[in-house]
């Protein structure tokens, strides 16, 4: 608006007022002209001001719009906004994948279409059925005809079609057939990792394993969940454990490969396992995780902790000897050795020959309170803190009497899971640091939290004892040249009601390698192995589980990059040398081929 | 009465209108394009997912193991076949074929082939290690290949100690791979 425009308006108003004056004159009213001019001048002034204000406001508004338009159109698009818009419109994948430590797929989601029909809309059920069965030959003609002829408004015809089948049905162009987009969880390696990964239900909710514990995370983000499992090791472990189950006709088995220093579970097998694609209708036995959920009296493998405890207190040294001449009678129990040496045994000998009597005497010397405290440090009074929901509470004596102290010394009277045993053994072997076990891959560079449970000196002594069991003791079958395998056998009688069954055993072997600087633990346990002719009637840990561990180490050692060493090299010999062993003449009488428990 | 200024303003309005109209159509077009691209992305993602699943399915260790047994002469590595450079410093690069080394060979004809070393070499002595660790070790001796005689005569006939076993024995393939890989995947998912 310019001054010129205002002049026009003023002129306009002036002419109006003149006409107004005329009207007034017509009305016969008389007024002087000069005051009228003043009034008009005042009104004009007011109108001018108002117009100016309005014009200013409007120009401001238009100015803002113009600037914004220039900003949006001329000054270039804002890339971030565009990306955000595009991202918002981008379809998100479904449930995230689960991968192994090397990136191999363990679980993924596939988009599928499911075919359903509204029979009311089917014009000719017979013709439709004929075409449909031709397109999908696996459908039953009569069933489909019955479905399509029914009075319902919704019948499933086939769930989860492949893209090819989807296309085949699509081109039929039949009215009344519809597709429902669905997502199916797919496990490329089938039952191989079933107990670790778990499974999902029909509506894709995790119902077991990692699928359950990371359900929310898997649904929320599309970044894959990387587990600590190595699929290759998992396969080898399952094959070897299955071989032992077949050979000894066991009712089940458990296997574990564990990184001693990082606490990562590299492979975890529980047999029998299940097909995660069809978990429904399976019996509880196959769904039962024998590694983490099953608690067992572990038997002689507990002598690891009895020895570690005794040595760690400093009150018992390797050179100390205990009387294992006679069985110990406590109340109605008799504690004896499988193959008693019937003499005094040193601590290494007790471990090597797996002497129950010697172990009990060691535990009694240490005392109940210290034992309970030590077992708590080893994590035996709590469930293992692992990422799957199938983690069992151990069965511990309450109250903890002296008789419990005696039985716990050789692994009875306390029931823990296989994972408990392995995690605790790792802390004894790795220099004395208890590391939390994990099923997720540890990122390199992130420091590993741990707490000291035994001294480094104790750990070093325990490594020697482990090695001794394989070179001279009950587990010679586990030896692999070059890998310095060490370990401890365990054979526990299973409890049936209130008594121990004679022919229902739990034979296990916990092996570690290389013993000069342990890196991995391999654990194998067979549930109720039956002795066979090939094992001369034995079904003990040394016969059942130790050979499997030997075969496993032989195969996984190269995969894990463990460099074989010459066992006869002086520094290796020295690292594994153990004193206080050759006590008395009885050792010479010990026959190496009489493999015993 | 039209003045020049009015003409100017009307012209501007018309121009703005046309521009706005065009922009609006462009936006609409772009939106359609975006949705089409999104759709493509979705189907590509689905295809990738299927391919990944297929890759996992075909790389299942049990299957690979079976194929390896069928088509390759490879076996799991034995500890005596492994050595690091540091442990090889004392060993000459070309081992002297002395009687001590070839003692247990049937005929001392070069190139010396180490027998499959699992049973016979318990200790990691220096000289046998060099032989075993050489490239020849990749070729196992023909005798202990377990499933060889059951196949074609190509593999069985020329298996003398001085000749290499054929690199690729011709065997009949177990079965033609199925065409519809996705169907195989989904077949594993179970039926209805």
Q: What is the DSSP string of A453-506?
A: -S-HHHHHHHHHHHHHHHHTSS-GGG--TTT--EEEEEEEEEEETTEEEEEEEE
Residue with tokens 């247990």: B104
- Asked if pLDDT for residue B148 goes beyond 70, the answer is no
Which range among A338-352, A580-594, B151-165 has the greatest average pLDDT? A338-352
Nearest to A482 among B124, B182, B188 (CB): B124
Band (B117; pLDDT cuts 50, 70, 90): very low
Band (A83; pLDDT cuts 50, 70, 90): low
Q: Can you give the pLDDT at residue A363?
A: 93
| Residue A300 designated active-site | yes
- Asked if pLDDT for residue A265 goes beyond 90, the answer is yes
Band (A93; pLDDT cuts 50, 70, 90): low
Percent of all residues in chain A with a pLDDT value above 70, rounded to a whole number: 87
Band (A585; pLDDT cuts 50, 70, 90): very low
- Distance, in angstroms, between A528 CA and closest chain B CA? 27
Residue of B nearest to A561 (CA): B82
- Asked if pLDDT for residue B180 goes beyond 90, the answer is no
* Beta bridge mates, A490: A508
Calculate mean pLDDT across residues A467-492.
89
* Beta bridge mates, A321: A346
- Asked if pLDDT for residue A529 goes beyond 60, the answer is yes
- Asked if pLDDT for residue B109 goes beyond 50, the answer is no
- Distance, in angstroms, between A214 CA and closest chain B CA? 20
Q: How far is CA A571 from the centre of its chain?
A: 39
Q: Which residues of A touch B60 (CB under 8 A)?
A: 188-190, 192
- Three-class SS of residue A245? helix
**Residue A558 and residue B188: Cβ atoms within 8 Å?**
no
Nearest to B189 among A97, A105, A184 (CB): A184
Rounded CA separation B12/B10 (Å): 5
- Asked if pLDDT for residue A9 goes beyond 60, the answer is no
| Phi, psi values for residue A229, rounded to 5° | -70, 140
Residue of B nearest to A108 (CA): B53
Q: Which two tokens stand for residue B176?
A: 């033609």
| A43 vs A568, residue with greater confidence | A43
- Asked if pLDDT for residue B162 goes beyond 90, the answer is no
Q: How far is CA B31 from the centre of its chain?
A: 42
**Residue B61 and residue A231: Cβ atoms within 8 Å?**
yes
Nearest to B42 among A91, A232, A568 (CB): A91
Calculate mean pLDDT across residues A482-507.
84
Q: Can you give the pLDDT at residue A582?
A: 53
Q: Can you give the pLDDT at residue B91?
A: 58
- Asked if pLDDT for residue A2 goes beyond 50, the answer is no
- The full DSSP string for B22-58 is HHHHHHHHHHHHHHHHHHHHHHHHHHHHHHHHHHHHH
Residue of A nearest to B39 (CA): A91
Q: Which among A163, A184, A471, A555 is the top mutation candidate for probing chain B, defined by the most B β-carbons within 10 Å of its own β-carbon?
A: A163
- N-term to C-term CA, chain A: 109
Calculate mean pLDDT across residues B12-25.
95
- Three-class SS of residue B144? coil
Buried b (16+ CB within 10 A) or exposed e, A523-549: bbbbbbbbbeeebeebbbbbbbbbbbb
Question: Do A435 and A262 meet the contact criterion of CB atoms below 8 Å apart?
Answer: yes
Q: Can you give the pLDDT at residue A538?
A: 80
**Residue A189 and residue B124: Cβ atoms within 8 Å?**
no
Calculate mean pLDDT across residues A159-178.
85
Using alpha carbons, list the distances in angstroms from residue A297 to A340, A525, B41. 22, 12, 55
Q: What ipTM was estimated for this complex? A: 0.71
Helices (H) and strands (E) in chain B, counts: 5, 0
Q: Can you give the pLDDT at residue A105?
A: 92
Rounded CA separation A197/A211 (Å): 6
| Among B138, B134, B99, residue whose Cα is nearest residue B116 | B138
Q: Which residues of B touch A158 (CB under 8 A)?
A: 192
Q: Can you give the pLDDT at residue A51?
A: 95
| B2 vs B161, residue with greater confidence | B2
B29 CB within 8 Å of a chain A CB: no
Catalytic hit among A300, A355, A415, A459: A300
Rounded CA separation B120/B80 (Å): 10
Residue of B nearest to A166 (CA): B183
Fold of A98-226: Penicillin-binding protein 2a (Domain 2) (3.90.1310)
Which residues are CB-contacts of A81 (< 8 A; sequence separation ≥ 6)? Answer: none
DSSP conformation class of A584: S
H/E/C letters for each residue in A379-397? CCCCCCCCCCCCCCCCECC
Calculate mean pLDDT across residues B134-153.
40
Calculate mean pLDDT across residues A48-69.
95
Nearest to B60 among A156, A188, A482 (CB): A188
Rounded CA separation A191/A193 (Å): 6
**Residue B79 and residue A192: Cβ atoms within 8 Å?**
no
Calculate mean pLDDT across residues A374-385.
93
Q: Which two tokens stand for residue B15?
A: 């121009």
Fold of A234-276+289-589: Beta-lactamase (3.40.710)
Calculate mean pLDDT across residues A315-337.
87
Q: Which two tokens stand for residue A509?
A: 């072997």
Band (A77; pLDDT cuts 50, 70, 90): low
Rounded CA separation B190/B28 (Å): 44
- Distance, in angstroms, between B154 CA and closest chain A CA? 30
Q: Which two tokens stand for residue A300?
A: 């002689």
Q: Which tens digit of pLDDT belongs to each residue from A190-233? A: 889 999 999 988 778 888 999 999 999 998 888 899 999 999 99
Q: Which residues of B touch A194 (CB under 8 A)?
A: none
Q: Omega of the bond prior to B105 within 30 degrees of 0, cis?
A: no
Band (B47; pLDDT cuts 50, 70, 90): confident
DSSP conformation class of A20: H
A158: how many CB neighbours lie within 10 A of its CB? 18
Residue of B nearest to A162 (CA): B183
**Residue A108 and residue B56: Cβ atoms within 8 Å?**
yes
- Distance, in angstroms, between B115 CA and closest chain A CA? 17
Q: Which residues of B touch A186 (CB under 8 A)?
A: 53, 185, 188-189
Ranges A45-59, A270-284, A292-306, A547-561: which has the least confidence: A270-284
Q: Which residues of A touch B35 (CB under 8 A)?
A: 89
Which residues are CB-contacts of B51 (< 8 A; sequence separation ≥ 6)? Answer: none
- Three-class SS of residue A333? strand
Nearest to A235 among B62, B122, B180 (CB): B62
- Asked if pLDDT for residue B105 goes beyond 60, the answer is no
Q: Can you give the pLDDT at residue A429?
A: 94
Rounded CA separation A423/A419 (Å): 6
Calculate mean pLDDT across residues A580-594.
43
Question: Do A459 and A430 meet the contact criterion of CB atoms below 8 Å apart?
Answer: yes
| A86 vs A462, residue with greater confidence | A462
Percent of all residues in chain A with a pLDDT value above 90, rounded to a whole number: 45
Calculate mean pLDDT across residues A547-571.
88
Q: Which tens digit of pLDDT belongs to each residue from B59-95? A: 999 999 999 989 988 877 777 777 777 766 665 566 5
Rounded CA separation A552/A541 (Å): 15
Q: Residue ranges per domain, chain B?
A: 4-59
Rounded CA separation A254/A549 (Å): 12
Q: Can you give the pLDDT at residue A577?
A: 80
- Asked if pLDDT for residue B164 goes beyond 60, the answer is no
B134: how many CB neighbours lie within 10 A of its CB? 17
Question: Do A161 and A113 meet the contact criterion of CB atoms below 8 Å apart?
Answer: yes
Rounded CA separation A486/A550 (Å): 10
Band (A84; pLDDT cuts 50, 70, 90): low
Q: Which tens digit of pLDDT belongs to each residue from A439-451? A: 999 988 888 889 9
Rounded CA separation A197/A187 (Å): 9
- The full DSSP string for B93-133 is SS----TTTSTT-SS-PSSP-PPPTTTT--S--HHHHHHHH
Rounded CA separation A418/B106 (Å): 49
- Asked if pLDDT for residue B171 goes beyond 70, the answer is no
Nearest to B192 among A104, A158, A184 (CB): A158
B122 CB within 8 Å of a chain A CB: yes
């Amino acid at each position: 608006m310019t001054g010129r425009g205002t002049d026009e308006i003023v002129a306009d108003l002036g002419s109006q007022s003149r006409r107004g004056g005329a009207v007034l004159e017509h009305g016969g009213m008389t007024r002087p002209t000069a005051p009228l001019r003043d009034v008009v001048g005042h009104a004009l002034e007011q109108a001018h001001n108002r117009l100016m204000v309005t014009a200013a406001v409007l120009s401001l508004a238009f100015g803002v719009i113009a600037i914004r338009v220039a900003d949006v159109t001329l000054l270039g698009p804002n890339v971030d906004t565009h990306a955000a818009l595009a991202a918002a419109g981008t379809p998100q994948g479904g449930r995230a994948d689960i991968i192994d430590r090397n990136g191999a797929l363990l679980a993924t989601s596939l988009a599928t279409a499911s075919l359903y029909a509204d029979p009311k809309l089917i014009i000719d059920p017979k013709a439709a059925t004929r075409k449909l069965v031709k397109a999908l030959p696996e459908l039953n003609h009569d069933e489909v005809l019955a479905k399509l002829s029914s009075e319902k408004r919704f019948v499933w015809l086939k769930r989860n079609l492949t893209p090819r089948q989807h296309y085949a049905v699509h081109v039929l162009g039949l009215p009344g057939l519809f597709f429902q987009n669905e997502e199916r969880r797919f496990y490329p390696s089938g039952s191989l990792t079933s107990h670790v990964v778990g499974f999902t239900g029909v509506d894709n909710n995790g119902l077991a394993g990692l699928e359950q514990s990371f359900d929310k995370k898997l649904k929320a983000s599309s970044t894959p969940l990387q587990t600590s499992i190595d699929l290759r090791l998992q396969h080898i472990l399952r094959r070897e454990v299955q071989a032992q189950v077949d050979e000894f006709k066991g009712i089940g088995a458990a296997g574990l490969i564990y990184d001693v220093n990082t606490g990562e579970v590299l492979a975890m097998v529980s047999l029998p396992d299940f097909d995660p694609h069809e978990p429904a209708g399976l019996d509880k036995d196959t769904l039962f995780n024998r590694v983490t959920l099953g608690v067992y009296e572990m038997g002689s493998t507990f002598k690891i902790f009895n020895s570690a405890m005794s040595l760690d207190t400093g009150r018992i040294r390797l050179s100390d000897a205990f009387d294992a001449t006679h069985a110990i009678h406590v109340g109605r129990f008799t504690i004896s050795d499988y193959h008693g040496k019937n003499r005094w045994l040193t601590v290494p000998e007790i471990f090597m020959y797996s002497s129950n009597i010697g172990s009990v005497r060691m535990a009694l010397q240490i005392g109940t309170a210290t034992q309970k405290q030590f077992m708590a440090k080893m994590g035996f009074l709590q469930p293992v803190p692992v990422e799957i929901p199938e983690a069992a509470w151990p069965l511990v004596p309450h109250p903890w009497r002296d008789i419990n102290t005696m039985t716990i010394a050789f692994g009875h009277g306390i029931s823990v899971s296989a994972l408990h045993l392995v995690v605790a053994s790792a802390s004894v072997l790795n220099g004395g640091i208890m590391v939390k076990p994990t099923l997720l891959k540890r990122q390199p560079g992130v420091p590993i939290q741990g707490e000291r449970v035994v001294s480094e000196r104790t750990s070093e002594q325990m490594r020697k004892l482990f090695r001794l069991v394989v070179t001279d003791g009950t587990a010679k079958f586990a030896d692999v040249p070059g890998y310095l395998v060490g370990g401890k056998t365990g054979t526990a009688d299973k409890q049936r009601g209130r008594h121990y069954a004679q022919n229902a055993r739990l034979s296990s072997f916990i092996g570690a390698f290389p013993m000069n600087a342990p890196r991995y633990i391999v654990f194998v346990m067979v549930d109720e192995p039956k002795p066979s002719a090939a094992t001369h009637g034995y079904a003990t840990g040394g016969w059942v589980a130790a050979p499997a561990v030997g075969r496993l180490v032989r195969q996984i050692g190269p995969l894990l990059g463990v460099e074989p060493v010459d066992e006869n090299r002086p520094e290796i010999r020295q690292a594994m040398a153990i004193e206080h062993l050759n006590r008395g003449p009885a050792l010479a009488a010990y026959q190496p081929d009489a493999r015993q428990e | 009465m039209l003045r020049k200024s009015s003409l100017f303003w009307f012209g501007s309005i018309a121009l703005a209108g046309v521009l706005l109209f065009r922009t609006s159509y462009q936006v609409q077009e772009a939106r359609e394009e975006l949705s089409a691209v999104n759709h493509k992305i979705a189907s590509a993602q689905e295809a990738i997912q299927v391919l990944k699943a297929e890759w996992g399915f075909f790389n299942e260790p049990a299957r690979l193991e079976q194929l390896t047994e069928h088509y390759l002469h490879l076996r799991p590595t034995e500890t005596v076949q492994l050595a690091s450079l540091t442990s090889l410093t004392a060993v000459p690069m070309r081992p002297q074929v002395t009687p001590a080394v070839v003692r247990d060979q049937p005929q001392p004809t070069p190139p010396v082939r180490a027998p499959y070393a699992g049973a016979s070499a318990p200790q990691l002595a220096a000289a046998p290690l060099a032989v075993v660790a050489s490239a020849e070790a990749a070729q196992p001796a023909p005798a202990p290949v377990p499933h060889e005689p059951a196949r074609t005569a190509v593999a069985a006939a020329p298996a003398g100690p001085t000749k290499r076993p054929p690199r690729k024995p011709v065997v009949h393939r177990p079965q033609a791979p199925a065409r519809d890989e996705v169907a195989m995947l989904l077949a594993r998912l179970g039926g209805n």
